[in-house]
Amino acid sequence: MRVIDTDTDVDLSALTAWLWQASIGHRVFEERGRQILEIADPADAQVARAAYDAWRAGALPAAPQKVRRSTLRAVGRALLRFPGLTLILLAALLVFPFSLPLGEGHLNPLAALLLFVPQGGTPPGPWRLITPIFMHFSVVHLAFNAAVLIELGRRIERGGSTIGLLLLVGFTGVLSNIAQSVVSGPDAPFGGLSGVGYGLLGFLLALGRRRPTDPRWQLPAGLAMGLLFFLVLFSTGITDAFGMPVANAAHWGGLVAGALAGLLGPVPGRERRALP
């Protein structure tokens, strides 16, 4: 939750040190020439704003000795706040033990049922349009995709709705899988949430253009540029030399699908304005 929007030349280091001493999770980033302070828990918003006002007045008190929440409790709160995101990640984690052997060329019955193209004598079915997004072939593969999905998915679910996020994941997942299947052919198994991740990126970039004053849909420039840089870099085939094929068609297909959804679809919720 964003609580402070100020000039970039304002040094917030003393304030952020106070917030950390008070066990208030937060981050500071630059966006559109402004400096934004965002807190992790909306319940801390009033305390953070009061501390900012006191700091500006030169009367910042000693940080309160706030009891730190246990890791388990913090995880539980996150699961309740983002049920759609949690459901997607849980599905990927449950499938992971069965899709991991595919990285070494070993096919098991469950993985064969989830691939886009039927293999191992398994029957065709409409579920195959979406199930490859839950398949990952290494720990790094899963960790990177999960990190991107958490960073982008939480923004969409918080700014819109759980149903909206799930529909967007389904839409971008199906189209990215179809794009990859067309390019790679029936004999090359593929999987992962990266196509969905780029779909969420395309959605946020497009929606940010439609609602430039709504802070829900504004991404930090560094995050967006970094993901687009890797998209272009991987598309050169540089990873093939290291034996790491990348589903580039899924990435591009997801990006285009997400952008179309952001440009042509309804804008979730009412428009909000950035803090003055």
Residue 20 pLDDT? 83
Residue 271 pLDDT? 54
Instruction: For domain 2-56, say whether CATH 3.30.70 is its number.
Output: yes
Residue 118 pLDDT? 87
Consecutive 10-residue averages of pLDDT for the chain (276 residues): 86 85 84 87 84 83 56 66 93 95 88 89 91 94 94 91 94 96 86 96 94 86 93 88 84 96 82 50
106 catalytic, yes or no? no
What does the alpha-carbon distance between residue 107 and residue 119 come to, in Å, rounded to a whole number? Answer: 9
N-terminal to C-terminal alpha carbon distance within the chain = 15
Instruction: For domain 73-264, say whether CATH 1.10.287.470 is its number.
Output: no
Spans of all domains in the chain: 2-56, 73-264
Main-chain phi, psi angles of 38, to 5 degrees: -120, 130
Q: Name 139's Cβ contacts closer than 8 Å, sequence gap at least 6.
A: none
Among 176, 181, 184, 194, the one annotated catalytic: 194
141 catalytic, yes or no? no
Going by C-alpha positions, the residue among 27, 19, 28 that lies closest to residue 61 is: 19
- Beta-strand ranges (E) seen in the chain are 2-7, 26-31, 34-39
Among 26, 136, 141, 251, the one annotated catalytic: 251
